[in-house]
Structure 1
Amino acid sequence: MYATSALSALVYGEGLWSKAQKDAVYSLTKYSMSFDEKNYAEFKEFLNIPLGDRRAREELQKEFPDEQVARQGLSEGGNHPKDISRIINAILWFKNVGYMKEAMRYWQEGDHLIESLRSRGDEIDGLISKINSGEITKNQDKVAAIVRINEIMSDVSNINTNLTFIEKSFSQTLSEASRQIGNILLNIIIGIILLLGGIAVIVVTYINKTVARVDRAKSEFVSIASHQLRTPLTTLKWYSGKLMADIGKINYEKAKEYAAELNFATEKMIDLVENILNVSRIELGKIEIVPQKIDIKQISEKVFEELSQKIKEKKLNIDKQYDEATEKMFADAKIVKIIIDNLLSNAIKYTPEGGDISLSITESYNGNNVVINVKDTGIGISKDEQVNIFSKLFRAKNAQSTGTGLGLYMTKELTEKCRGRIWFHSYENVGSSFYVILPKIFEREDIKI
């Protein structure tokens, strides 16, 4: 648990780094227009945070690092004193391992860009200081200086865009590292269940201690986690108890059945935690849209590949239709994948064995949008419940045992953040048809930095 806590502290530190960088760019932009030295002082003050973190990173990447130097750098970076030791341990433990090694590379690239940003700021200050002091007097020279300032600010804008990409990549890589470690820990926990049992007590104790530590701003998150994790935890507790009670007299087939149930409950817990974290990021405004050229057909096929086992188990008939004009679009690949995955997962979950599911991706009549349609022959949604279907934690009466109440809420929020729209038609015991319309080209200037 300490390992994941250490990675969480590092993710929080990255948030401070990112905010300081954005504030620095904002202050430099104001300085380029106001010529007010106070704005430049703010710019330098904000840069002290990533510069402090840089000193810590460089020290910790040495063969024999001085932890006191790293501690001082992280303190200058605005990190909470209680988090500093965790951040140091996370880097020292995992800096040469998998995703963490990649994250450190992104961090190093970000530090190079911060140095370029500082250099541009110094150059702008030099020009403005000459104008303010009267060293530059001729109008022609002043105009030339102002033109040069604008050119530098254009470079600053490019640096800021690149930093946004680096920050996003760093955050995603850390999340993958945390997930990877979390999966390892879950497997260890399952092994402990098979030998000793008692996992439910451990988890409940951990949740109770967490509730005692968090403030009111986190109370809803903890409430959701406790509510949604109860079912898989109960399953883990029951089957681990059966294993303990029947050990020595249980046959292979029954042991295999129990192991399958434990594995299913664990996968459900992982999916629930991932959904809860995504919802939390959306509501905290931590979801950044990074548009790029994507192949939506390729993304869809990847989703089908990941869901193939569930499709085979239920012997579902799948129909796919792709409009070639939609294969290349400019959007956030990760968000598009989440949207398609949620719609297809729901269709598979609520369609009975032998049912039909279709996915069509077409271009809108005006050619400016992409329309995603997922249709199934599942249980459908009753008319009186349809108004609430996109509400957080809402589950229809005929889906109480399987739904989490988060998937469609998250899909709607992400769709709207991408300037899109979602709607559906559904008939109980007949099936549902969900539509998502997204801009074919999501303009970069639409993104709020």
Structure 2
Amino acid sequence: MKKTRIGSWLRNVSISKKLYFTVGIMALLIAIELMTMLFAINTLSSVRALVAAEGLWSKAQKDAVYNLQKYGTSFDENDFIAYQNFLKVNLGDRKARMELMKVNPDMDVAWRGFLEGRLHPEDIDGAIQLLRRFHNISYIAKATSVWTKGDEQISVIQSLADELHAEIMSAHPSKDKISSILKQIDIVNAGLTTIEDEFSYTLGDGSRWLTDLILRLLFGLVLTVEITGLSVTIFVSRGITTGLKEIIRSSKKIAEGDFSTRAKVFSGDEIGLLANSFNDMTDSLQSSMSDMKQMETERIKIIDDVVQRKNNLEQFSYIVSHNLRSPIANIKGIANVLQAEGHFNNDEKELIAGLSVAIEKLDDVIRDLNEVLKLKNEGVAKRELINFSEILSDIKLSNANLIKEGKVTITYNFSAVNEIFTVKGYLYSVFFNLISNSIKYQQPNIPPVIEIQTRRTNDKLEIIFRDNGMGIDMGRKGDQVFGLYKRFHTHVEGKGVGLFMVKTQVEALGGTISVSSQVNRGTQFVIQFKTNELLS
């Protein structure tokens, strides 16, 4: 039940909390692992300290017996004092052992006992903790029991030493008695050797057992840390990826046109909220699909209607432009005949002259209309490699007198691009119309200056025409610049067809044209083409 509650909680909390939980569990387990390792190191260090104490105990006991035996033959009091000094190590350890065996031991007394036993001060606390914590463990209990036996034998040596000292200090020491006491001391010393070996073996067995226990504990803890960490990580990551995969699956279904699919919600976290939002979006999308289909149907119907109207209008324009040519030619001929007659009065002649002018302009309009229809219907002719410099030279040559009389200066810079694949007639017409307009609409008493240059920007080719002419009021007339029959200056002759033709021809070549202008400052036209279409 608890696992189920934890799993349910993990599924429904936010992703950040999932990550915090995972990191927190890992940190806790690693902290436990580090504390266990610290405990293991301290415990093993304590075992080492106890083994060192046993070594000092054995050495001090042997040195004490040696000096006591020496005293039995030399009767030198210094040897007896040396015996007593060495024996302090054993007595100090006994003091510590006896204090630690109490229910409520005085740790200061035990600490001083081990210090008298010549144990290093930094090892004393570890030795005390080992004996207190593991006193019920068989190895420590047995070692303590052996230690007690050794202390009992130390007491026997003390009694024999006192007896030996009393005999030597007597008025008439007995050699036989001294020899008997020394033999007894040898017997006890031999027994102590056995006890010391047993103590060492017991501590060795205990140390190996403890080392094996600690290694098992550490291995189990490391394994627990890894398994727990992997389990939590897999659980959290699987919860996240399962939700994301479900959303991806549903999105692919919707991309295929199946708007009835819905994403399953597996959790209450951000992924679950995203799945709910995704389903809400799908509901809205599905509900609007019928409206979109209806709108698409209406859009197609409108487009078809517009295309049909356009075709009808072009057909009508074609019919008008061709069918009116013959009647206009007849009217024009009649007007010429009437003008040739001489029996009309002045008013009648003026009417006939006005009729001739009107017929001439109507004929021009129909010709222009034919040109536009021809341009739109014929499509783009075969492309060829065209040189800008050669096109410009041809135009300058055909307009040499006009350029000379108007003192026109034409400068150009085609260093960026000088050749492109395009339709020669269209490009010639574009150059001719733009240059002619710059000359035609020059400022009074200011010689025209026309600058032409090419420029490459990213994947675009730009052809720039710039002049110092009269300019156009873009605020008022900007949207009419490329309109058919749109004129902005009436002081010179013109029909308002040139710029319309320029725009139509540029677009037929796949380009665009833009204009910027200021009154009495000049005009700039920028034609743009995609370089991958014109340079290869």
TM-score with structure 2 length normalisation?
0.35
